[in-house]
Homo-oligomer: A and B are copies of this chain.
């Protein structure tokens, strides 16, 4: 313990980050800008080559941060996991997706642990950052690491869980200034982990165990899933009652306490909200517990793309047109405004449904040049021109990127289904969710 604390104190620590995605690379950069040597590990040669060539591919890393890292030369990347043997801290930032049956897919954590275990040297701090069900660190990661390394947690290495809290597109909070929760298996591990993370993160908040830290992240994202689903359901009822839900939300926001605004849309997307709560639902079964709120919220979310398609169908019907044979342009496939990420985006699901009904599907997204739907269809972003808008039977606003010029879109479109309240002007052409 003395040894690693000394290294931390004199900044001679070597940090390894496993997974160079939207979580891992900013984390490695946060250490590297603080003068700590960081090695990024990834199985993708493309990502590793980009990092080593000085090319940033993560939207949230600011140019000045990236320049500083290049200047300090504190960041490198590799596909060679044997270099883990050089690391004093190993931080695991791999994806935790769901499989096709909405069950946790632990393959990435598992293979990361096996690789780490092979090369883990005594005296290393290991932390999992991937969102997962509570008890993963203790019951899944720990035995894998001990078996693969032959080392003993608490004696030879220290294991912890510290959930990533990256919010892509957030201009205020980045990896450094977002407080970080940390729970370790032992008191020693907590002390060491806090000292390490404090190099890269302004505020480290410790909790009593990894499973508490695991539950923290799930609570945060379950809160979001449940509230987005609630407002989507309220939006659907409001639509039937002739009430503009966006007007309701703006007014409710004037309440100075006890309310937080969420906004409706065609469903939830991204890498967190549609997935994390179902990790909890999975482990709850083991405890004979039925998480009815998550289940209900998930059900609403699952149906939203279909409800959105019904809105489209209703709108086209007013123009005496069916979906079959109509030309439909989707504006925005990213899962939220101003990000370049279309993972789990509801827009893609709607595109599949509409294409399946014989609609001619096009999309435009300034941040996503090409995309592949869950149904396996590939599309390229069309150039957004007045002529294109005029040629479409309906334009569907699926993501409200701030660069979209609502007045111009309204002027040039025949019919608009606005699932995001992007076109704020009242018009007979516009059908809101």
**Residues in A lying within 8 Å of B, measured CB to CB:** 134-135, 165, 167, 170, 172-173, 178-179, 181, 203, 205, 207-209, 211-213, 215-216, 219-220, 222-224, 226-227, 229-230, 233-234, 236-238, 240-245, 247-249, 251-252, 254-260, 280, 283-284, 287, 289, 291-293, 295-297, 299-300
Interchain CA distance A203-B256 in the complex, whole Å? 11
Q: Flag if B211 contacts A243 (CB, 8 Å).
A: yes
Partner of A173, one of B172, B256, B299, B300: B256
Determine the distance from Cα of A157 to Cα of B134 in the docked complex, in whole angstroms.
60
Bound Cα distance A230, B252 (Å): 21
Closest to A209 in B: B243
B241 touches A135 (CB 8 A): yes
Given contacts A243-B212, A256-B178, contact A219 B248 (CB under 8 A): yes
- State the CA gap A112–B270 with chains docked (Å): 51
Q: Give this chain's copy count.
A: 2
With A226-B226, A291-B233 as contacts: A179 and B296 at CB distance below 8 Å: no
Closest to A225 in B: B230
Contact status B299-A292, CB under 8 Å? yes
Q: List the B side residues contacting A213 at CB < 8 Å.
A: 251
Cross-interface CB contact of A247 among B212, B230, B257, cutoff 8 Å: B212
Known: A233-B293, A293-B230. Contact between A258 and B220, CB under 8 A? yes
Identity of the chain B residue whose Cβ is nearest the Cβ of A237 in the assembled complex: B289
Contacts of A135 in B (CB 8 A): 241
* Of A284, A299, A300, most B-chain CB atoms within 10 Å: A284
Q: Are B251 and A216 interface neighbours, CB within 8 A?
A: yes
Q: Is the CB of A207 within 8 A of B289?
A: no
In the complex with contacts A223-B259, A233-B293, A179-B247 CB distance below 8 A: no
- The smallest C-beta distance from A18 to any residue of chain B, in angstroms, reads 24
How many Å lie between the Cα of A298 and that of B97 in the bound state? 31
Contacting residue for A256 out of B179, B222, B234, B283, CB 8 A: B179
Main secondary structure of the interface of A (DSSP, over half): helix
A-B contact pairs, 9 of them (CB 8 A): A181-B252, A203-B254, A211-B242, A223-B252, A224-B258, A226-B226, A240-B289, A241-B287, A296-B296
CB <8 Å contact, A216 and B252: yes
Q: Which residues of B contact A255 (CB under 8 A)?
A: 165, 178-179, 220
A293 to B254, alpha carbons, bound, how many Å? 24
B289 and A220: CB pair below 8 A?
Answer: no
Whole-angstrom distance between the Cβ of A433 and the nearest chain B Cβ:
14
Nearest CB on B from A432, distance (A): 14
Docked complex Cα distance between A211 and B237 (Å): 13
Residues on B with beta carbons closer than 8 Å to the beta carbon of A254: 179, 181, 203, 205
A295 to chain B, nearest CB (A): 8
Most chain B CB inside 10 Å of its own CB: which residue of A173, A203, A254: A254
Q: Report whether A208 and B287 are in contact in the complex, using a CB–CB cutoff of 8 Å.
A: no
Inter-chain contacts of A252 with B (CB < 8 A): 181, 216, 219-220, 223
CA distance A242 to B134 in the complex (A): 10
Residues of B within 8 A of A295 (CB): 296
> Ordered nearest first, which 3 A-B pairs have the shortest CB separation?
A179-B254, A296-B296, A260-B260
A241 touches B291 (CB 8 A): no
Asked if B216 contacts A223 (CB within 8 A), the reply is no
Alpha-carbon distance between A231 and B238 when the two chains are bound, in angstroms? 26
Q: Is the CB of B300 within 8 A of A292?
A: yes
B212 touching A248, Cβ below 8 Å: yes
Q: Which residues of B contact A207 (CB under 8 A)?
A: 247-248, 251
With A and B bound together, what is the CA distance between A283 and B216 in angstroms?
36
Taking the closest CB of chain B, its distance from the CB of A228, in whole angstroms, is 11
